[in-house]
């Protein structure tokens, strides 16, 4: 199977031994408590679940700045986006302490991890803005990722973590949430050698379905990992449980048996476009996938990125040998009225724009919000019914 990022072993930070976990939980009761922001909580979950292999905790100031500048840590590890735990107030904390990190998304804010503080450092306001510019390719505070990033505190708490649980994801999504190790194990059990990953934060419309099938066919892949984000999105996006149900229905009805694995991971959408696409590649390499589909406007939002910036970064900024996973570059996919099927536009040179039924997650949401049915060219009827029911409930509430 493909190597994990960094070339070593998968390093999930979750404490699996129940007695050891109870011991740490008891010790955490007397530790200083730090309530995480949503981004830091997501980082803890990804550290615990092995997706952030080979990281052992939160980055220090120097690593954060260097990752933003050159996509490498001080030790030379290739990494595209800093993994930070930033707070607004660090007055009661000191270097060498162990602190209890608390979950902002669960009632009573239970402890999710213990962090050993190796450093407490302060980012200047100009450093925060410079990092945001590097990560998101814009400093515009209207960009949802920039806004979230700049709302963090400026005190950087770095050091290793011991993760005690994976927040609400295992309980709320028992059939879908999987760690990187669990996905690798299932790939091995299925006997898959070539595995193509599809990242999604939306229900899958017909163009997504066709794109996965095209990639599988062209790569000769044994299987597809449909890997959905289960964490925080922006307002207006469809909730994870609805997306999960819609994706499962599509796979059940329109893909052959034992060709698709459906899984989810507990991370917040950053909307960082090209840099987030690189981070997505690391996640999928750690899961055991050999290829990642990167399509039009991957991880983008609004008009902040060019349609294929997320593909170009792999050839212009990712050093040779930095990643083992390969990228499947996809063109815009759309339903062809001429051919009565979904095609990649680059494969239909005789078409004009009038020959296509163009679809997007945004267009789907707009149609459904107005109480209209999705055309068959956009969504499978079984999938459309699940999404329409959600919007009917929203409109009636």
- Cite the active site residues: 201-202
Question: What does the alpha-carbon distance between residue 275 and residue 24 come to, in Å, rounded to a whole number?
Answer: 35
Closest Cα partner for 49 from 201, 185, 178? Answer: 178
Closest Cα partner for 226 from 253, 187, 201, 200? Answer: 200
Q: What is residue 326's three-state secondary structure? A: strand
Q: Are 25 and 164 in contact (CB under 8 A)?
A: yes
Q: Which residues contact 196 (CB under 8 A, 6 or more apart)?
A: 212, 215, 216, 219, 221, 223, 224, 225, 289, 290, 291, 292, 293, 328
Q: Are 222 and 194 in contact (CB under 8 A)?
A: yes
Query: In whole angstroms, how far apart are CA 237 and each of 31, 243, 293, 299, 389?
Result: 37, 10, 21, 13, 15
Question: What does the alpha-carbon distance between residue 21 and residue 55 come to, in Å, rounded to a whole number?
Answer: 20
Q: Which residues contact 70 (CB under 8 A, 6 or more apart)?
A: none
Question: What does the alpha-carbon distance between residue 230 and residue 265 come to, in Å, rounded to a whole number?
Answer: 6
Number of residues that make up the chain = 397
Taking each helix axis from N to C end, the angle separating 61-70 and 125-136, rounded to the nearest 10 degrees, works out to 40
């Amino acid at each position: 199977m493909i190597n994990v990022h960094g070339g070593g072993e998968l390093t999930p930070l979750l404490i699996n031994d129940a007695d050891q976990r109870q011991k740490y939980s008891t010790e955490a009761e007397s530790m200083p408590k730090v309530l995480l922001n949503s981004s830091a909580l997501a980082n803890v979950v990804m550290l615990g679940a092995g997706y952030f292999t080979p990281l052992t905790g939160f980055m220090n100031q120097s690593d954060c700045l260097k990752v933003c500048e050159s996509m490498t840590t001080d030790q030379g590890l290739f990494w595209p986006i800093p993994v930070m735990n930033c707070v607004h107030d660090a007055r009661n904390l000191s270097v060498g302490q162990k602190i209890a990190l608390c979950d902002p998304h669960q009632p009573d804010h239970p402890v999710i991890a213990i962090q050993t503080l190796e450093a407490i450092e302060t980012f200047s306001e100009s450093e925060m803005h410079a990092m945001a510019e590097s990560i998101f390719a814009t400093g515009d505070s209207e960009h949802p990722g920039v806004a979230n990033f700049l709302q963090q505190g400026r005190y950087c708490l770095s050091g290793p973590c011991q993760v005690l649980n994976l927040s609400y994801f295992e309980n709320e999504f028992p059939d879908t949430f999987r760690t990187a190790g669990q996905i690798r194990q299932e790939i091995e059990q299925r006997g898959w050698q070539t595995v193509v990953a599809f990242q999604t934060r939306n229900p899958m419309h017909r163009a997504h379905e066709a794109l996965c099938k095209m990639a599988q066919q062209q790569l000769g892949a044994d299987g597809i990992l449909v890997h959905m984000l289960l964490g925080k999105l922006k307002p207006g996006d469809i909730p994870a449980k609805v997306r999960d149900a819609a994706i499962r229905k599509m796979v059940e009805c329109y893909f052959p048996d034992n060709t698709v694995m459906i899984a989810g991971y507990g991370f917040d959408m950053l909307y960082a476009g090209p840099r987030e696409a690189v981070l997505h590649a690391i996640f999928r390499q750690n899961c055991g996938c050999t290829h990642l589909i990167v399509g039009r406007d991957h991880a983008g939002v609004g008009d902040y990125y060019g349609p294929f910036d997320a593909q170009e970064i792999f050839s212009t900024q990712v050093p040779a040998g930095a990643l083992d996973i390969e990228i499947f570059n996809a063109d815009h996919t759309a339903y062809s009225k001429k051919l009565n099927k979904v095609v990649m536009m680059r494969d239909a040179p005789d078409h004009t724009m009038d020959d296509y039924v163009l679809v997007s997650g945004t267009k789907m949401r707009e149609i459904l919000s107005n109480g209209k049915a999705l055309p068959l060219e956009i969504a499978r009827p079984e999938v459309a019914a699940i999404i329409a029911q959600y919007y009917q409930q929203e409109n009636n509430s």
